[in-house]
A and B are shown apart, each in its own frame.
Chain A
């Protein structure tokens, strides 16, 4: 630039003063030009930055040069780094959020004013909330159960509460255990858990104890009645024998019940049966056949009917397989199924026991009877303990109400399942279905 000034000075005049003046003037002009050029480049940069906001991948303009270009490149690199970091953070945040959504427990985060900051899917399901619309709502406006409001207001969160979900109806109960945990600065975390199943189990346990007591008390009352009779009344030999026979029957009933209870608790408590022990199906069936005929004969004798049941077993040739598992447990499951059929089928009826391969490569033990059948509403509950379709008939025929529970448990331990198929008047079909891995041919 000084050179430009100097040249300008040359043209102007020749005196040294004039030359220096010219150089100065030229320098000023050059400086101004340079300033304009620099300013133009700066404005290019600003323009580019502005465009960068909308389109993050715009390269710096090619006209940009020198220190400005270096600045632009440095800026671009910085921005890219930042964007990557942001992406990483938001991915991590999404990940945490998805994990919280996947949780079966409801999570609601509240700010210090008791407004909802965030909530997960389960919380929506538990309380009937909306994931987006209910953000920033005051929580007690939506969770209005008086028990919850009192708990929330008391600010003593050392223990949880159990409330009905707002969505619960008599037909579809939904009980929730809810607990609040304070965190951070005055924020609160509400955790909810579906307690319907736990509560149902609790009720079942109570019912079970009540049922056992009831089942034991009935024969016991009869027994003590007879004992009193024997102690106080003068009775003759015939009557005495009759009394004792009845007492023996009731004592037998109690014994059966306790035997079944012990069998059940053994099934529940013992480790799963060894799957390396193989039992030929033939052995199981011959024991079943003997038991079935004996049961039917007894039934015929008691009622004085002329003929017992017609019981059909498969031929030995069909039974060419082995089952892996405990022979005793399988035996008791099969005999329970057969004795049920004998008990509920009228004398002279037909009971057919089959062993058939299944499509999945396993096999099924099937008991088909020609009895009165079971109404559909009873079928899902048949394996419940002490559940009886007709309570009078079952106990008078010697049932304890635990047979099918034992069957179900024993089968479960052998990876097998029980299928019940029946309709009123059409007989019943009970099938124990074993998976392929439990069956092998001989």
Chain B
């Protein structure tokens, strides 16, 4: 977002939309972090905080969409600017959903605490991927701010790690449930949480993909990673299109 336009007003419009998006991102980031903390120490107060922030996130989503519509209508952007605005719109959606997942985790944590605790369950594994997911969200937003394609690609890669962790965790929960049917209800709660964590990772990955889209104009969704990486090398060789 550092390229100059003839109209500096347009520049400041774009910058203000980005700022709004980043502010929303910050909100969702803390929401996710709080949810993970609530999970780590089974705290109802933290879980409540997460749930309360949800309204603000929704409000920001609406505000950003409105700003986007008016910018597109007034400026009729093309090329990279258009891509930026389109990507902002999609990233907003992804952020809002990631926030929703954080809220889901918070609700589950509350219900676990209220129904007596799942102390003996394998929570440690879950925390690991939860930390990973929240760091992915942070790094994907950093990548957007810096339009850092290399960082975006490494995020896309790391999301696979979370997916694998999720599968492993599911298997572990199944063994628990088979061994002792009394753990089924807690296991299901944990499974929901693990699924939410995995979804947060996916949203981070989507955001990273839009970062690549903005800078290169290349839609990397549903494309094999090797191809994207080859393109990265090519782009680095001739300094990248924009």
A residues near B, CB below 8 A?
A: 128, 130, 133-134, 136-138, 140-142, 144-146, 148-149, 164, 166, 169-171
Contacts and interface: CB of A to CB of B under 8 A. Distances in A.
B7 interface: no
A133 B146 contact: yes
Contact of A137 (B25, B33, B40, B146): B146
B23 A138 contact: no
A144 B36 contact: no
Closest CB pairs A-B (n = 3): A144-B26, A141-B145, A141-B22
B23 A146 contact: yes
A134 B142 CA distance: 10
Contact of B23 (A130, A134, A149): A149
B15 interface: yes
Nearest to B30: A146
Given A137-B146, A138-B19, A170-B37, A149 B127 contact: no
B30 A141 contact: no
Most buried by A among B18, B25, B26, B30: B26
A254 B6 CA distance: 80
Contacts of B145: 137-138, 141-142
B138 interface: yes
A149 B26 CA distance: 9
A144 B134 CA distance: 14
B19 A166 contact: no
A130 B27 CA distance: 22
Interface string B127-151: 1000100010010011011101000
B29 interface: yes
Interface string B16-58: 0011001101110110010011001000000000000000000
A140 B138 CA distance: 13
B132 to A, nearest CB: 10
Interface residues of B, number: 25
B2 interface: yes
A349 B84 CA distance: 76
A406 B85 CA distance: 64
B19 A144 contact: no
Contacts, number: 52
B40 A170 contact: yes
19 contacts: A128-B142, A133-B148, A138-B18, A138-B145, A140-B22, A140-B26, A141-B18, A144-B141, A145-B29, A146-B27, A146-B30, A149-B23, A149-B26, A164-B33, A166-B138, A169-B131, A170-B36, A170-B40, A171-B131
B26 A145 contact: yes
A166 B138 CA distance: 8
A376 to B, nearest CB: 19
Interface of B: 2, 15, 18-19, 22-23, 25-27, 29-30, 33, 36-37, 40, 127, 131, 135, 138, 141-142, 144-146, 148
A133 B26 CA distance: 20
Given A136-B2, A145-B30, A146-B27, 12 more contacts: A134-B146, A137-B146, A138-B15, A138-B18, A138-B22, A140-B26, A141-B22, A141-B145, A142-B146, A144-B29, A169-B131, A171-B131
A298 B22 CA distance: 69
Given A145-B30, A146-B26, A149-B26, A140 B141 contact: no
Contacts of A145: 26, 29-30
A171 B128 CA distance: 10
Contacts of B2: 136
Given A136-B2, A170-B36, A170-B131, A144 B146 contact: no
A169 to B, nearest CB: 6
Nearest to B33: A164
B47 to A, nearest CB: 15
A146 B22 CA distance: 10
A142 B142 contact: yes
Nearest to B36: A170
Nearest to B39: A170
Contacts of B26: 140, 144-146, 148-149
A140 B24 CA distance: 11
A138 B2 CA distance: 10
Most buried by B among A133, A137, A144, A169: A144
Contacts of A171: 131
Nearest to A147: B30
A140 B23 contact: yes
B103 to A, nearest CB: 16
Contacts of B30: 145-146
A126 to B, nearest CB: 14
Nearest to B146: A133
Given A166-B138, A170-B40, A144 B127 contact: no
Contacts of A134: 146
Contacts of A138: 15, 18-19, 22, 145
Contacts of B23: 140, 144, 146, 149
Nearest to B37: A170
Contacts of B15: 138
A145 B27 CA distance: 7
Nearest to B2: A136
A164 B36 CA distance: 14
A144 B22 contact: yes
Contacts of B22: 138, 140-141, 144
Nearest to A153: B23
B214 to A, nearest CB: 14
Nearest to B24: A144
